[in-house]
C-alpha cells in the first residue's frame, strides 16, 4: 500500500541511499500510524496525493531525528558544537504533515465532550 510512492517522495526530499535499510521500516511505521489516525471509513487512498506526501514528510522528519540533525557550528577553543534541525524555522515536517491530512484525521487534539454550559 503506497510504500513505493512514499519511498520515491522521500528520495526526492533528499533521503540518502546509505539510509535505505532504515527507510523501509520507517515508511511502514509512519504509513500504519497515519492510516490508524484517519477517520472511521477513510482509507489512505481516499486522501489522494496528500497521504503519501504527509507520510514522506513524517518519515523525513523522523529520519533527521535519528541522524541527530545538522551540525550548524563547531568551535575548537572552549569546544562548542551546535546542532540545528531544518524544522527549527517553524513547525516540524511531522506537524506540517498532520496539518496536510487534517481533513481526513480523527479529532486528536483537545475536545470538549458532554460539557454542559
Other beta carbons within 10 Å of 70: 12
Other beta carbons within 10 Å of 17: 7
Q: Could you tell me the residue ranges of all domains in the chain?
A: 3-104
- Percent of the chain's residues with pLDDT above 90: 42
Owner of C-alpha cell 483537545 = 110
- Kindly state the average pLDDT of the residues 52-57: 94
For 15-50, write each residue's pLDDT tens digit: 888 888 889 999 999 999 999 999 999 999 999 999
Return the DSSP state at 2: -
Tally the residues of the chain: 117
pTM of the model: 0.70
Amino acid at each position: 500500500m503506497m510504500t513505493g510512492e512514499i519511498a520515491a517522495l522521500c528520495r526526492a526530499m533528499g533521503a540518502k541511499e546509505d539510509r535505505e535499510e532504515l527507510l523501509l521500516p520507517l515508511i511502514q511505521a509512519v504509513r500504519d500510524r497515519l492510516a490508524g489516525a484517519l477517520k472511521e471509513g477513510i482509507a489512505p487512498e481516499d486522501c489522494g496525493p496528500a497521504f503519501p506526501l504527509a507520510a514522506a514528510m513524517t518519515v523525513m522528519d523522523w529520519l533527521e531525528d535519528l541522524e541527530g540533525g545538522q551540525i550548524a557550528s563547531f568551535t575548537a577553543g572552549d569546544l562548542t558544537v551546535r546542532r540545528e534541525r531544518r524544522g527549527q524555522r517553524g513547525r516540524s515536517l511531522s506537524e506540517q504533515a498532520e496539518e496536510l491530512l487534517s481533513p481526513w484525521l480523527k479529532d486528536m487534539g483537545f475536545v470538549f465532550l458532554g460539557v454542559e454550559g
